[in-house]
Every structure is written in structure tokens, then in C-alpha cells.
């Protein structure tokens, strides 16, 4: 099963499928051929059209042109129910389950076995769930509610659902993004066993090691167009990356040397029971400190506590030698701290407000004359930052929600830079933005460090951490397990610290 | 992968689910206990509250109409909607009942019941259609129909009033009659409750109500017929209010344009007190029914206990807020337990 089984009728075939949303063309020539008994990878940058393609297959979108065949028969899906009935199951990155209902009900919702008077046969359902879980080699109580399940377990439930539907095609959209190493292994084992049952699997991922480990065929997409399909054995990571980006990527993460000066942010023995423990670190002027770790290791919680959004029980935070009081973001801001949060749409940006207003929200108090602010005053001040950050929008009056992810990130960054911070904390600076903008954001961070700012950067992308950071802190389950210099930090040492307790040493 | 020792494959979920199930059951049990406590305390203070010939009957009779309305309301709330028009529907249906007896002398009582239910269902269908198709929040839609239905009622009824003398004695007897000591109205309410609760627990439709309320966007992804189900919930709620209108006419004999005024809030209150989550997805019709009984029983008990009139409404408020706080605490405790169980699982 190592090479692509390219003979016989494909289970699913899309040819030259296109889809536009008004003026925006999301997909130009989407082509994809899946065979049973194969795990097929679909790779591409953000915005390459992968998600649109998946949504067309799932019946959420309807294609504008092109052909879509399932086992040789042309199909037209008008709803998710129709594609599901045809044997296509999609497992999204963040599964959508009903939190109040039990695992069993979640698997059978909408198609419960019924007896007389339409009474649901719970016994039959529970037995099947038990069989499914046994088959998948996992132990999840069929009677517990879905609330509180880990993402990994939620995905297993989605997979169980797909199997009980006897899906011919299983599509997994970035399923490993939020999983730990063990969970990824479990998922892969399940995926392989499904492949061996002669189902067709499509695996979408940004992690090349996983793609090359799991998949037998790789399709590359770029800018909404099909680029290539290869057997995994016949290609290599650099080759795939080149096709994805359309150019060679050497200097994605250009951190320039900056003079590292005095300690700016000093955190000592920060504790919050159940969330994080004994957190101590220092960020110096001119330094970029990377905070690495798996999703859920407590990184965002730590910086939120440092900034005063969340409380902590013991420990101290000082900026420039002056203590920052706990639980007071406004004081933290005044003392020179700035936090660019992870979820821009929810926490960093007033989506329905204009770019100008967004940039100046953090400095309203400074701008106001007699407590009043005019749009003119706002735009005047925002203009400086918008041009410095090269926000690509025609006017400061544009509504923030209409900007691309990269430009939204710049607006949030601009908002905080307008406060003239000493220390900038950035949570996932480049999540969800394309490679070009990514490089710009990195260049900006590097410049800011050169101007003497201290930067604390949380990132789940290892290359970004390794490329940008002067020093890498690694967290695991609420504790810092490693403090690595630029020289000592490589993907092995960081991943080791992210998955092992501090006492175990890296061999 | 690491697995928990708690969930052994041979007895799947016995320990775990019984614990969670126990919590859920505790919610209805808690209301029942509170109800018994109120009855006990009041009876000790004044034995006539329970042991007089009318005492026991009134205890069951008074809340019956609200129970019927609250059952429909609970179904709507479980789908993450709310129906504020039930009081107005009840008012219209009650007056229609009187008019039917006046305008069609000799009309069979069962036909009147059927017309009342169908009429309520139609009004509910209007609510449901506006909510499900126009995708406007039900709070706003039913607030609008609350006034519209009441306005129609005022225009139609005017200063007219249906008097007991205008309705057949057999119909009025239904309002006070008992079978084996249990009022007929209570039996009707109980029948509605049993059928409704069974439906919600054991059928696809019922479970989909919960699913839609639990996560509407997930319901779309599952391909559930969300529009149809939401429509059905409002239709049932309207039908229940229509039935309650007929019962109201039978119980009180006098119907004017004020019938059922403010009842919608009592229905929502009853559901919330009974543990139906205001954001949908959880709670049972049993809970809503117990909530309705508790609400009315407390209202009747307070004067007996010598608590002044104007405090009674405050007590209802305390009850509602208390119920919500309790639910919040229970929900937090449960989610903490589930997360702890997960940590043990992966630890």
C-alpha cells in the first residue's frame, strides 16, 4: 500500500472545479482523485482553496463549474445530508458535537434505530457504539456527555460516526492541529486501519512529517488551482514546499541580530493552581523570546496572567524593575506591556469598527481632548501606524472585518504599537495568514526588536520559533520544561521538552 | 494510548453515567423535594392546606393549566428559542371557547377542545414560521405576536365577558370534577406531560429538539431538519396554550380580554425553575411541570404562612434566580468532573 494504487475507477473524482464568492475566486481549477484503500494528502498554503474544495465535496458549497463524480457517477450535492447519504464523511479540525448529549446520541443523531411507535432503541445504539470503540481501539464511555471531551476524542467520535455510516470517503481537515503526539499516533493507527478496510481517505495537513508518514499520494494546490499529484515515494519535502509556495523558501524567518540589553520583563515564580506552576523567565530589550509547547500546555494562560487579564495566586511580574500589579490590564498597559491575543477576531479587533478606530482603541485616553474624540483625530494618529505597517486597505474608514487575516493582524499590531510598549507579547503572530504576509510580520517583529523592544512570542509553528527566537522557552502541562539558547534550540530539543517532564533529560 | 481505569469495557459507563445521570436526576428530584417541603411546612402551619376536602383538590387543580403551558414552553426553550406569546394565545383560545358555546349551541365539548387546540396550533405555526424562515430571534418575534394576539383579543372581545351561565354545565363541571379524588384538569395535564416527556426522551424528533438547542450549527452540519423541528416546537407550544385556553374557560367560567395576561413569564419561569436550560439543549418536561406546580403552590402557601401579598412576587423571583444559580453550579461541577476524568485519562 505504499505506492499509489492508480488503477480502476476512482472512488471520488473532481475535475476543474471552480467556485467564486462574488468577486473573490476561491477555487479556479480544483482537481482531486481519490482511490479506495489509499490515504491521500492535500497540501497547500492557507487560501490555496483546500477548504473550499472540501466544502464542495461535503455539500456545503455548490460548485460553479467542473465535474464531480462518485464511483464513476456524476453527483450534485445540495446539502450535507445528501453527501453524507452518498457515503462521504468529513471530519473537521474542530469537531462539532452536541455538548449536552451523550457520545452515543452524538454518533446516531438523525438516524437512530427505531422500534415500535418510533421509539429509539437505545440498547442497539449502545451496543454498536461499544463495538465501534472496540474496533477503533479506544475507550470512551458511550453514555458520557460530549461536553469536556478532548479534541482528539471528539475526532474519534466523528470517525466512529463515519464508520457506522459506512462512509466510502473520509475527509480529515487538519485533524492533528490540536493533538498531542500520542493522540496523533492513535489517529494514524485508526486511519491506517480504515485504509485497509478499502475506504478512501483524504488527509489535509500542514505538517509534512505527518503527510509523508501517513499518506501514499500527495496533491498540491496553490492559489485555488491544482498543481500536482505524486506518489509519496517519488517526491520529497523540499519539492512539495517549492510547489506549494511557487518559489524557493530559504529566508522565511529573517531575524536580524539585535543588541540584547537590560532585562525588561521579569516573571518570577508565577503560580495558578490547575493552570500553571513555577513560571519564571526574563525578556530583555532587543530580544525575541519564543514560547513553544503543544496546544493546551498553558502558554496563552501564562501571558494572559502576566498581562493581568487572568488572575494568578502567587509570584511577581516586573517591567523595568517596577512591579506590575496582578489582574489589571490597564496598569500593565501603562507600564509598557502590550498583548496581541491569539484570536484576533474575538479578542483583538472590533470587527464591526473601522481600521482607524481599531488602531486607536488602546490610546483613546491619550488622544481625547476634554474627554472627546473625533474621527479626524483618530485617523490622524492611526495613519502613522497603518502606513508603517503597510496595512493594505484603501481607507482607515474600511471596516476591520472585511480585511484579510494578515491585514487584520497588522491592525491589531498597530493598535498595540500605538501605545508605545516596552514589551510586546504576541500570541500566535502568524496563525491563519499566508506566507507572504507571514514574512512581513516576521520582518516587523525583527525590526521592533532592533529598536530595543522585548518580544515574547507564543508560536505553535516550530520553524517560526526556531527562526525568530533568540531564546526558546518550552512549556508542558503548565510548567516550563526548557530554556534553550538559539544555538541549542532545534526541532528535536524543543519537541522533546514539549512532550517530556523537566526531570527527564534530553539524551 | 492511555486509557482510564474508570471505564472498563465490560461495564461501559455504569459508574460514570450513573454519576452524571444522578446529577441530572437530582435536578428534578430537587424540585420535587422543595415542593414537598413547601407543602409540609404549610400544612403544619395550617392542616387545611392539604387535609381539607378542597385543599388537596386545589393543590392539584390550580397549577394544571400552567403545567400544560409550561410543557409547550419547555419544548420551545429546549430548541434554544422562547415563546412569549403563550399567554395571549391562551386568552384568545379561552374567549373562542366561550364564543363557540354561545354561537353554536349544542356543540359537542370534544369538538370545542379540538378547535381550541387547532386554533392554538395555528397561532403557534405563525410564530414558528416567522422564527424558522425569517431567522429572526424568537424573543423578538414572539414579543411582537404577544402584543398582536392580545390586541386582536381586545378588538374582538371589547368589554364583552363570557359568563358561566353562557356555557354548558357539563363543560364547567370538567373544571372542578374529580375522578378518584384527582381533578379531571390535572389528569389532562398529566396525560399531556406523559406523552410529551415520552416523545422528548424516546423519539428521533424529541432528541433532535435537544440537539438543535445544544448546538444549532452542529445540527446544520448533521443535516438535521432544523427549520421543520423549530416549526414543530412552536406549533406544539401554541397547541398546548390553545388547550390551556379551553381548560381556563372550564375552570374559571368567566373569560374577558385579560385571560392569561402575563402567563408567558410564569411559563418561562416554571421551565427555568424546573431545570430547563434557557440556552437550550438540556432539561426535561417533567422538570418544567414540577416547576409550574412549585410556582403555584408557593403562591398559595405564602398567604397561609402569613407572608404579605407584596412579598409573593419577590419569592418567585428568588426562586427563578436560585434555580439559575443552582444550574450554573451544577454545570460547572459537571464540566470540572468531566475535565478531571479526561486528565486522569491522559495523565
Q: Is A116 on the interface with B (CB under 8 A)?
A: no
Which residue from A minimizes the CA distance to B207? A109
% of chain B residues with pLDDT over 70: 90
Nearest residue in chain B measured CA to CA from A105:
B207
B278–chain A nearest CA distance, Å:
13
Ranked by mean pLDDT, the top range of A340-349, B34-43, B325-334 is: B34-43
**Which residues constitute the domain of residue B246?**
26-313
The Cα of B312 is separated from the nearest Cα of chain A by a number of Å equal to: 34
Coil, strand or helix at B107: coil
Interface touch B207/A112, C-beta < 8 Å: yes
Q: Does B318 touch chain A (CB under 8 A)?
A: no
Q: What is the pLDDT of residue A250?
A: 44
Q: Identify all chain B residues contacting A138, using CB atoms and an 8 Å cutoff.
A: 1, 3
B7:A150 CB<8 A: no
Measured between CA atoms, the residue of chain A closest to residue B223 is A81
- Chain A neighbors of B278, CB-CB under 8 A: none
Contact B207 A105 (CB under 8 A): yes
In a domain, B327, yes or no: no
Instruction: Kindly determine whether residue A96 and residue B17, on different chains, have CB atoms separated by under 8 Å.
Output: no
Which of B215, B223, B335 comes nearest A148 by C-beta?
B335
Distance from CA of A341 to the nearest CA of B (A): 25
Distance, CA of B243 to CA of A260 (rounded, Å): 78
- From chain A, the residues in CB contact with B24 under 8 A are none
Mean pLDDT of A375-379: 69
B20–A143 CB contact, under 8 Å: yes
Q: pLDDT tens digits, residue range B114-149? A: 999 999 999 999 999 999 888 789 999 999 999 999
Q: d(Cα B150, Cα B258) in Å, to the nearest integer? A: 9
Give dist(CA B88, CA A214) in Å, integer.
62
Q: Chain B contacts of A137, Cβ < 8 Å?
A: 1
Q: Could you give the number of structural domains in chain B?
A: 1
Average pLDDT of span A91-111: 85
Per-residue pLDDT of B69-88, as tens digits, reads 999 999 999 999 999 999 99
| Complete domains list, chain A, with CATH | 12-97+149-245 (3.40.50.300), 259-336+422-507 (3.40.50.300), 346-420 (no CATH)
Residue A296 pLDDT exceeds 90? no
Check if B174 contacts A (Cβ < 8 Å). Answer: no
B242 vs B331, which has greater pLDDT?
Answer: B242
**Above 50 in pLDDT, residue B11?**
no
Write out pLDDT tens, residues A10-38: 888 999 998 887 666 778 888 999 998 99
User: What's the DSSP call for residue A74?
Assistant: E
B234 within a domain of the structure (yes/no): yes
B221 touches chain A (CB under 8 A): yes
* B33 within some domain: yes
Distances, alpha carbon B311 to alpha carbons A7, B263, B270, B305, B306, in Å: 81, 19, 18, 12, 11
Q: Is residue B345 part of a domain?
A: no
Residues in chain A: 507
pLDDT tens per residue, range A122-176: 889 999 899 888 888 788 888 888 887 877 788 888 888 888 888 889 998 888 7
**pLDDT score for B26:** 64
pLDDT at site A363: 67
Residue A505 has pLDDT above 60, yes or no: no
Residues A430-445 pLDDT 10s: 776 666 667 778 888 8
In the prediction, which pLDDT does B99 show? 92
Query: Given the DSSP bridges, would you call strands A217-222 and A225-231 parallel, antiparallel or unpaired?
Result: antiparallel
Q: Is position B338 within any domain? A: no
B221:A119 CB<8 A: no
Range list of H helices, A110-220: 122-136, 151-164, 181-196, 208-214
Q: Could you read off the pLDDT of A213-272 as tens digits, one per residue?
A: 899 999 998 878 888 898 988 888 778 877 876 654 444 566 677 788 889 999 999 888
What whole-number distance in Å separates Cα of residue A289 and Cα of residue A297?
A: 17
Q: Considering the domain boundaries, does residue B334 fall inside one?
A: no
How many beta-carbon pairs below 8 A join chains A and B?
119
Task: Supply the CATH number for residue B243's domain.
Answer: 1.10.3470
Query: Quick one: which of A355, A368, A366 has its CA closest to A396?
Result: A355
pLDDT band at A51 (very low <50, low <70, confident <90, very high): confident
Q: Cell 526556531, residue? A: A466
**What pLDDT, on a 0 to 100 scale, did the predictor assign at position B3?**
36
Interatomic CA distance for residues A344 and A429, integer angstroms: 10
> Does residue A393 register a pLDDT over 60?
no
pLDDT of residue A381: 67
CB pair distance less than 8 Å for A100 and B282? yes
CA distance B198 to chain A (A): 9
For B170-187, write each residue's pLDDT tens digit.
999 888 888 888 899 999
On whether residue B336 sits in a domain, the answer given is no
Find the CB nearest B203 among A102, A120, A183.
A120
Q: Using CB atoms, pick whichever of B213, B217, B342 lies closest to residue A149.
A: B342
Average pLDDT over residues B263-285: 90
Q: Does B209 touch chain A (CB under 8 A)?
A: no
- Report the gap between the CA of B145 and the closest CA in chain A (Å): 30
Instruction: Answer yes or no: is pLDDT of B347 > 50.
Output: no
Q: In this prediction, does ipTM exceed 0.95? A: no
Q: Would you say residue B18 lies in a domain? A: no
Task: Note whether A255 contacts B: Cβ–Cβ < 8 A.
Answer: no
What is the 8-class DSSP label of residue B259? Answer: T
Residue A140 at interface with chain B, using a CB cutoff of 8 Å: yes
Rounded Cα–Cα distance for residues A432 and A426 (Å): 14
Tell me which residue in B16, B205, B219 faces A143 most closely, judged by beta carbons.
B16
| Cell numbers found for residue A260 | 540584547
pLDDT at A190 over 60: yes
Amino acid at each position: 500500500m505504499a505506492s499509489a494504487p492508480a488503477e480502476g475507477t476512482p472512488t471520488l473524482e473532481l475535475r476543474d472545479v471552480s467556485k467564486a464568492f462574488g468577486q473573490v475566486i476561491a477555487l479556479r481549477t480544483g482537481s482531486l482523485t481519490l482511490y479506495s484503500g489509499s490515504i491521500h494528502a492535500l497540501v497547500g498554503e492557507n487560501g490555496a482553496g483546500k477548504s473550499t474544495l472540501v466544502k464542495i465535496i461535503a455539500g456545503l458549497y455548490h460548485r460553479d463549474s467542473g465535474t464531480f463524480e462518485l464511483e464513476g457517477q456524476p453527483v450534485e450535492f445540495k446539502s450535507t445530508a445528501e453527501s453524507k447519504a452518498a457515503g462521504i464523511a468529513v471530519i473537521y479540525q474542530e469537531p462539532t458535537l452536541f455538548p449536552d448529549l451523550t457520545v452515543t446520541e452524538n454518533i446516531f443523531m438523525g438516524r437512530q434505530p427505531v422500534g415500535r411507535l418510533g421509539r429509539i432503541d437505545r440498547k442497539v445504539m449502545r451496543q454498536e457504539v461499544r463495538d465501534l470503540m472496540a474496533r477503533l481501539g479506544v475507550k470512551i464511555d458511550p453514555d458520557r456527555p460530549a461536553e469536556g471531551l478532548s479534541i482528539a476524542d471528539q475526532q474519534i467520535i466523528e470517525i466512529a460516526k463515519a464508520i457506522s455510516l459506512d462512509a466510502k470517503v473520509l475527509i480529515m481537515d487538519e485533524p492533528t492541529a490540536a493533538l498531542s503526539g500520542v493522540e496523533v499516533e492513535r489517529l494514524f493507527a485508526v486511519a491506517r486501519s480504515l485504509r485497509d478496510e478499502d475506504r478512501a481517505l483524504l488527509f489535509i495537513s500542514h505538517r509534512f512529517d505527518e503527510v509523508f508518514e501517513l499518506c501514499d499520494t500527495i496533491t498540491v494546490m496553490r492559489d485555488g488551482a491544482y498543481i500536482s499529484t505524486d506518489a509519496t515515494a517519488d517526491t520529497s519535502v523540499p519539492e512539495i514546499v517549492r510547489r506549494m509556495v511557487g518559489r524557493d523558501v530559504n529566508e522565511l524567518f529573517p531575524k536580524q541580530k539585535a543588541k540584547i540589553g537590560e532585562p525588561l520583563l521579569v516573571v518570577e515564580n508565577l503560580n495558578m493552581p490547575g493552570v500553571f506552576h513555577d513560571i519564571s523567565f526574563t525578556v530583555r530589550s532587543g530580544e525575541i523570546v519564543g514560547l513553544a509547547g503543544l496546544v493546551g500546555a498553558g502558554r496563552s494562560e501564562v501571558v494572559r496572567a502576566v498581562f493581568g487579564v487572568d488572575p494568578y495566586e502567587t509570584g511577581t511580574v516586573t517591567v523595568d524593575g517596577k512591579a506590575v500589579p496582578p489582574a489589571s490590564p490597564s496598569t500593565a498597559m501603562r507600564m509598557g506591556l502590550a498583548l496581541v491575543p491569539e484570536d484576533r477576531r474575538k479578542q483583538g479587533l472590533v470587527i464591526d469598527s473601522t481600521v482607524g478606530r481599531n488602531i486607536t482603541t488602546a490610546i483613546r485616553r491619550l488622544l481625547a481632548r476634554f474627554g472627546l474624540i473625533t474621527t479626524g483625530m483618530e485617523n490622524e494618529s492611526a495613519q502613522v501606524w497603518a502606513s508603517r505597517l503597510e496595512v493594505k486597505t484603501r481607507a482607515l474608514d474600511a471596516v476591520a472585518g472585511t480585511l484579510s487575516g494578515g491585514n487584520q493582524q497588522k491592525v491589531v499590531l498597530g493598535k498595540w504599537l500605538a501605545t508605545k510598549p516596552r514589551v510586546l507579547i504576541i500570541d500566535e503572530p502568524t496563525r491563519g495568514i499566508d506566507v507572504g504576509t507571514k514574512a512581513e510580520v516576521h520582518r516587523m517583529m525583527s525590526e521592533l526588536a532592533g529598536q530595543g523592544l522585548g518580544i515574547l512570542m507564543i508560536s505553535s509553528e516550530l520553524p517560526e520559533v526556531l527562526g525568530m527566537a533568540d531564546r526558546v522557552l518550552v512549556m508542558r502541562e503548565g510548567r516550563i520544561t526548557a530554556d534553550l539558547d538559539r544555538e541549542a534550540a532545534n526541532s528535536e530539543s524543543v519537541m522533546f521538552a514539549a512532550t517530556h517532564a523537566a526531570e527527564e533529560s534530553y539524551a | 494510548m492511555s486509557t482510564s481505569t474508570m471505564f472498563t469495557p465490560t461495564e461501559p459507563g455504569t459508574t460514570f453515567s450513573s454519576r452524571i445521570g444522578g446529577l441530572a436526576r437530582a435536578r428534578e428530584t430537587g424540585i420535587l423535594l422543595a415542593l414537598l417541603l413547601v407543602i409540609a411546612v404549610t400544612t403544619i402551619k395550617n392542616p387545611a392546606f392539604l387535609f381539607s376536602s378542597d385543599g388537596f383538590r386545589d393543590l392539584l387543580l390550580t397549577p394544571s393549566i400552567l403545567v400544560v403551558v409550561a410543557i409547550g414552553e419547555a419544548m420551545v426553550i429546549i430548541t434554544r428559542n422562547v415563546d412569549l406569546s403563550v399567554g395571549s394565545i391562551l386568552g384568545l383560545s379561552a374567549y373562542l371557547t366561550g364564543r363557540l358555546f354561545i354561537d353554536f349551541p349544542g356543540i359537542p365539548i370534544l369538538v370545542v377542545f379540538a378547535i381550541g387546540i387547532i386554533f392554538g396550533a395555528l397561532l403557534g405555526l405563525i410564530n414558528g414560521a416567522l422564527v424558522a424562515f425569517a431567522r429572526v430571534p424568537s424573543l423578538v418575534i414572539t414579543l411582537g405576536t404577544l402584543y398582536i394576539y392580545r390586541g386582536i383579543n381586545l378588538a374582538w372581545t371589547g368589554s364583552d365577558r363570557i359568563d358561566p351561565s353562557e356555557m354548558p354545565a357539563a363543560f364547567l363541571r370538567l373544571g372542578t370534577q374529580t375522578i378518584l379524588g384527582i381533578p379531571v384538569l390535572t389528569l389532562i395535564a398529566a396525560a399531556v406531560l406523559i406523552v410529551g416527556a415520552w416523545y422528548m426522551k424516546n423519539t428521533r424528533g424529541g432528541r433532535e429538539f435537544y440537539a438543535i438547542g445544544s448546538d444549532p450549527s452542529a445540527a446544520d452540519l448533521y443535516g438535521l431538519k432544523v427549520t421543520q423541528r423549530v416549526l414543530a416546537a412552536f406549533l406544539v407550544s401554541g397547541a398546548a396554550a390553545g388547550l390551556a385556553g379551553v381548560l381556563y374557560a372550564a375552570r374559571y367560567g368567566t373569560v374577558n380580554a385579560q385571560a392569561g395576561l402575563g402567563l408567558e413569564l410564569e411559563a418561562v419561569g416554571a421551565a427555568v425553575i424546573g431545570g430547563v436550560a434557557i440556552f437550550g439543549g438540556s432539561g426535561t418536561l417533567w422538570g418544567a411541570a414540577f416547576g409550574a406546580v412549585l410556582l403555584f403552590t408557593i403562591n398559595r402557601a405564602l398567604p397561609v404562612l402569613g407572608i404579605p401579598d407584596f412579598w409573593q412576587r419577590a419569592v418567585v423571583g428568588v426562586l427563578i434566580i436560585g434555580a439559575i444559580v443552582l444550574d450554573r453550579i451544577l454545570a460547572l461541577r459537571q464540566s470540572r468532573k468531566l475535565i478531571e476524568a479526561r486528565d486522569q485519562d491522559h495523565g
